[in-house]
Structure 1
Amino acid sequence: MAVPQEHWSLPTLTGAPSSRAASLATPEALAFVAELHRRFEPERRRLLEARRQRQASYDAGALPDFRADTADIRESDWSVAPIPAALRDRRVEITGPVERKMIINALNSGARVFMADFEDSTTPTLANLLDGQRNLRDAVTGTLEYTSPEGRHYRVGADPAVLVVRPRGWHLPEKHVEVDGEPVAGALFDFGLYAFHNARDLHARDLGPYFYLPKLEAMEEAALWDAVMEHAERALGLPLGSMKATVLIETLPAAFQMDEILYALRRRVVGLNCGRWDYIFSYLKTLRAHRDRVLPERGQVQMTVPFLKAYSELLIRTCHHRGAFAMGGMAAQIPIKGDEAANAAALEKVRADKLREVKAGHDGTWVAHPALVPVAKAVFDEYMPEPNQRDVLREDVRVTREELLTPCAGTITRAGFDNNVEVALRYTAAWLDGLGCVPIHHLMEDAATAEIARAQLWQWLHHGDLHFADHAPIDFALFDRALAAHAHRLGESDLPGATRADEAAALLSALTHADQLGDFLTLPAYDRID
């Protein structure tokens, strides 16, 4: 219930932010966040309730579909607003957390765009969030530098990547900031602080501000972002439409509303992105009650399988018909030191993936590590000599509801099962310890990939009567033994999260044994961090 204006209180910040970052959460900045909260929190809650109702219908047997009430949007002729010059060539984008050294390396990587991530690769401790805001402020003002404990100095070069910021999704709260006795949305806190401190400077240099919007499920959620940005533009004295957004299509319901999401943001959207890992997780979560939609182990769920190929090609067709960019997905590989053959094989997988994307018509792609930028860039330079491929309309693509929903064939191996347990545990432990992206077996794992591992374990164990490729049964006794073994090994190691191994194991056990698949790992985990 909204608090009457006469009872409004000053926003409060709890916790102990680092001294060098506390200047970001000034009274003026918090007042800006508070105004966003008071204006938009009721609608955010309404939309989250709509999510819950949709999921309840899926759990009762319904399936996602294209909306009948928005057919006129899909069938009519319209285009998004012109794309700013700084974003017309996005052939390679790099992503990563808002940690100081990583920001510098990403900006200097040779990628066209750097997505600074407050979401899947950042644990939202207050110190991490405020340090991240300080780091981005320094990047915007050109003062970002870092000296390592070993004395190595890092600074941003003369031609850095274009900065795009990803705030948290609508579902995540920010418990450290209360307005009128309520926690604000993490999305509004991240967006509000960044916009308040940087929007005017970036606009003056024709650099935005630019945002990546995660986890949307419906056009109404996109419309809420449009309203938030319009309010911020008016409050900060910017022309309407100055703030630009790229939307990650990383939920199954959103795949059926690509046109509608573009339409809701048409005066500021510049493209959609294939958020492949979160999309696979959303497929598992959305269809969690459907025994006939079980997926094989995650290593076999590649973008070449039919339901993911259909999603990717539908995104390209939809974007290009509306004048927007269609961005490809993440390559999560990281360099394998000391094994040239293994490293060459990993890089070849990256090349093949990027070749598939550019030939399909994507306008650019994502990588997780600076060493992959030259690999991805070489592929796009060869096959996309122009800044983008918006002229590739993919008129041949006709995607049906069933093509988006039919699971791929495959198997579940003992190694795949064990890998899911290990990744889910090690990532959760590291996240609890403040680290939001973790290298595991030469892949950069973040919340999205850990969610796939967790959701698959729940799905395999709860649907019953599933077997490994060797016909042995998949059961909770096996899971409990594997979890205990990995927790013991992690606790005895010097790996990230070692001190939180038992706590992470208890959380993962509770989530996996629960009768219903939890919506997000990071929601119960958030209660366990400062």
Structure 2
Amino acid sequence: MVAVQQLAAPQTPPMSAQPQTFQPALPTLTAQAPGQDALLTPEALAFLAELHHHFEPSRRQLLDARRQRQVAFDAGALPDFRADTAAIRADDWKVGTIPTALLRRQAEITGPVDPKMVINALNSGADCYMADFEDSTAPTWGNLIEGQLALHDAIAGTLEFTSDAGKTYRLRPESERAVLIVRPRGWHLDEKHVRMDGAAMSASLFDFGLFCFHNARALAVKDRGPYFYLPKLQSMEEAALWDRAMAFAEEALGLPHGQLKVTVLVETLPAAFEMDEILHALRDRIVGLNCGRWDYIFSYIKTLRGHHDRVLPERSQVTMTQPFLKAYSELLIKTCHRRGAFAMGGMAAQIPISNDAEANARALERVSADKLREAKAGHDGTWVAHPALIPIARDAFATVVTGDNQLDVLREDVEVSAADLLRPSIGTITHAGFDGNVEVCVRYLAAWLDGNGCVPIHHLMEDAATAEIARTQLWQWLHHGSLHLDDGTPLDFALLERALIGLPSRLRAANIPGINRIDDAIALLHDLTYADTLADFLTLPAYAQLP
């Protein structure tokens, strides 16, 4: 168990010193979890209230703009580069200075924020650890509070964890730990347990604000940020909202402007058309962009759901060698390096196959080839989901990169058009691919509803992003009405029902994580797949079922 201790409140300027017309009321909390009183002090709640008061109206407007943009895409429009920001793309400018602690990011590990994971990731030998409140954490109130406490204790160097079997996990000396980068939840998510004026608070502002309030000054003293990964942005305006929120936090916490540094995940199709603009909106604090490949594929399906000529083949065939993904990756490298920012590669989701040495060797060879491809293309670093992959990533980059990064690789040979980013993929849909999507959705949803947001399935570490690919592919394949499997079998709802019939008994026999939520998971997938309109995120309806 992780020890719960009273956190010392940071010394901050009084909130009345901030530009405002009144003092917002404190948020109302609707749940209890061990340790929350140490985190959610009156001072911390006042800080969260200020963030909500200043930035919630803009968040709501931006989410409405997303919905309006999707209506246009559903009516036949396609994403394109913006005419009104052409000058930003054409002008010569650079982002700010990259901190010393972030100059080498060749191997980054990602994962949830439970104490054991935090310790193992920081001790993993990776350059950086992305502590993920977004896709790898099922946002139960207990998980969120435990995660915030774990990160606070890790920063203080006091975090320990003892398993039920009696094994104790401790942090290595600070000089041997990975650099911490925190990913708060995206703008689209609410935190239902923290209510302001009767409405749920932004999950983004809650995760970010609570972490900053308790840790920003301690990290600044250590010259370790704080640093953040920002997920699922769709526009420069959404990036600018983060910039304003971070500037506000810096002023309120007595930190210099630009102390908070960010890397943005380009994991939505609209954002791929605004890479320059996103870098520009955050230019005083951004250090790079990341190819969030799984979420990007999910976003491609969702954004183009109404376009019959852009249906993707099964997930295993949608690799980074597909033309639309290769264009996205190379455009990101060219754009970032032109502006003096890092271009981070994508996730390797493989986990070791302990009972089959030959299969394990083949899987690791594929990881090595993928990481070598990223290094040769000009990426500055990459992601892995398991510590065993860190040496493979390092070795791949060591064959290409002689220093800490590849900021000098400008990729002036790259020319990417809107058509390149939207190019349809070639491939097939097999029985195994269809049934695999159904199984991944059910197994992941069952685990997520049971409080686990990161689940090993068939030797891949599945998170919300990969489950979203499976879920949106099922919807798209079934709703287009004229598709067939590679053997000629019609892709219809009868196929879905057949895939679901035997699944519960088979999964119960395997005693999978979340076994008690299998029926709930199947019911949720059934509703999402049969719905006339593709749901934006599976985690939105699923969140209503979380404690």
Same fold (TM over 0.5): yes
**1:460 match:** 477
Describe how 1:287-306 pairs up with structure 2 within 5 A. Answer: 287-306=304-323
Aligned counterpart for 1:11 among listed residues 10, 27, 51: 27
Match of 1:27 in 2: 42
Quick check: 1:332–1:367 contact (8 Å CA) kept in 2? Answer: yes
Alignment of 1:394-409 (within 5 A): 394-409=411-426
Q: Is the 8 A contact 1:492 1:498 kept in 2?
A: no
Q: Does 1:191 align with 2:208?
A: yes
User: Which of 104, 114, 139 does residue 154 from structure 2 map onto?
Assistant: 139
Counterpart for residue 535 of structure 2: 518
What is the letter of the counterpart of residue 125 of structure 1? T
- Structure 1 residue 388, shift from structure 2 partner: 0.4
SS in 1 for 2:399: helix
SS in 2 for 1:32: helix
Alignment of 1:170-319 (within 5 A): 170-319=187-336
Do the aligned residues in 2 keep the contact of 1:21 with 1:133 (CA within 8 Å)?
no
Contact 2:95 2:279 in 1 (8 A): yes
- The correspondence of residues 159-174 of structure 1 with structure 2, limited to 5 A, is 159-174=176-191
Percent identity between matched residues is 68
Match of 2:437 among 420, 437, 455: 420
- Structure 1 counterpart SS, 2:50: helix
Identify the range of structure 1 (487-496 vs 212-221) with the bigger mean alpha-carbon deviation. Answer: 487-496
Tell me the CA shift for residue 484 of structure 1: 3.0
1:108 aligns with one of 123, 148, 168: 123
**1:517 and 1:323, CA in 2 relative to 1: closer, same or farther beyond 3 A?**
same
1:117 maps to amino acid: D
Aligned amino acid, residue 539 of structure 2: T
Is residue 79 from structure 1 mapped to residue 131 from structure 2 by the alignment?
no
- Taking the aligned partners of 2:492 and 2:540, their CA distance within structure 1 comes to 26
Separation of aligned partners in 1, 2:546 and 2:393: 36
The one-letter code of the counterpart of 1:53 is Q
* Structure 1 SS opposite 2:151: helix
Q: Deviations over 1:502-526 (max 9, x none)?
A: 1110110000001111100000000
Q: How far apart, in 1, do the equivalents of 2:378 and 2:250 lie?
A: 33
Q: Give distance in 1, aligned partners of 2:338 and 2:24.
A: 46
1:106 deviates by 0.7
- Answer yes or no: is 1:61 the counterpart of 2:70: no
For 1:443, give the aligned amino acid. Answer: L
- Which residue does the alignment assign to 1:497? 514
Q: CA contact under 8 A between 2:160 and 2:168: conserved in structure 1?
A: yes
Cα distance in 2 for residues equivalent to 1:187 and 1:288: 27
**Residues 15/484 of structure 1: CA separation in 2 closer, same or farther (3 Å cut):** farther
Asked whether the equivalents of residues 491 and 502 of structure 1 are also in contact (C-alpha less than 8 Å), the reply is: no
Give the whole-Å Cα distance in 1 for the aligned partners of 2:535 and 2:507. 24
RMSD of the TM alignment (CA)?
1.1
Cα drift, residue 144 of structure 1: 1.1
Match of 1:197, SS?
helix
Hey, what's the Cα distance between the residues in 1 that align with 2:297 and 2:345? 15
Q: What are structure 2's unaligned runs of at least 5 residues?
A: 1-19
- Residue equivalent to 2:13: none
User: C-alpha displacement at 1:7, in angstroms?
Assistant: 9.3
Matched residue type, 2:99: P
- Which residue type is aligned with residue 35 of structure 1? E
The residue that corresponds to 2:113 in the other structure is 98
SS at match of 2:396: helix
1:337 matched to 2:345? The reply is no
Name the SS of the counterpart of 1:383 in structure 2: coil
Equivalent-residue separation in structure 1 for 2:209 and 2:46 (angstroms): 10
Supply the AA of the counterpart residue of 2:188. H
Tell me how far 1:223 sits from its aligned partner.
0.1
3-state DSSP of counterpart to 2:502:
helix
- Structure 1 residues not aligned, in runs of 5+: none
Deviations 1:164-184 (A, max 9, x none): 000000000000001121210
One-letter amino acid of the counterpart of residue 92, structure 1: A
Shift of 1:487: 2.9
Offset at residue 486 of structure 1 (A):
1.6
| Structure 1 consecutive aligned stretches of length 4 or more whose deviation exceeds 6 Å | 4-7
Deviations 1:183-210 (A, max 9, x none): 1000000000100000000001110000
**Letter aligned with residue 281 of structure 2:** A
User: What amino acid is the match of 2:114?
Assistant: E
C-alpha deviation, 1:153, in angstroms: 1.4
Structure 1 window deviating more from structure 2 (319-328 vs 31-40): it is 31-40
Does the 8 Å contact 1:86/1:162 carry over to 2? yes
Amino acid at match of 1:67: R
TM-score by length of 1: 0.98
Q: 2:384 aligns with which of 354, 367, 374?
A: 367
2:427 maps to 410
Q: Does 1:350 align with 2:367?
A: yes
Does the 8 Å CA contact 1:8/1:180 hold for their aligned counterparts?
Answer: no
Change (3 A) 1:338 1:189: same
Q: Is the 8 A contact 2:191 2:201 kept in 1?
A: yes
Count of aligned positions: 526
> What is the Cα deviation at residue 492 of structure 1?
4.5
Looking at structure 2, the residues matched to 284 and 513 of structure 1 have their Cα atoms a distance apart, in angstroms, of: 17
Matching residue within 60, 63, 79 for 1:45:
60
Matching of residue 445 in structure 1 with residue 462 in structure 2:
yes
Give the structure-2-normalised TM-score. Answer: 0.95
Q: Which amino acid aligns with 1:388?
A: N
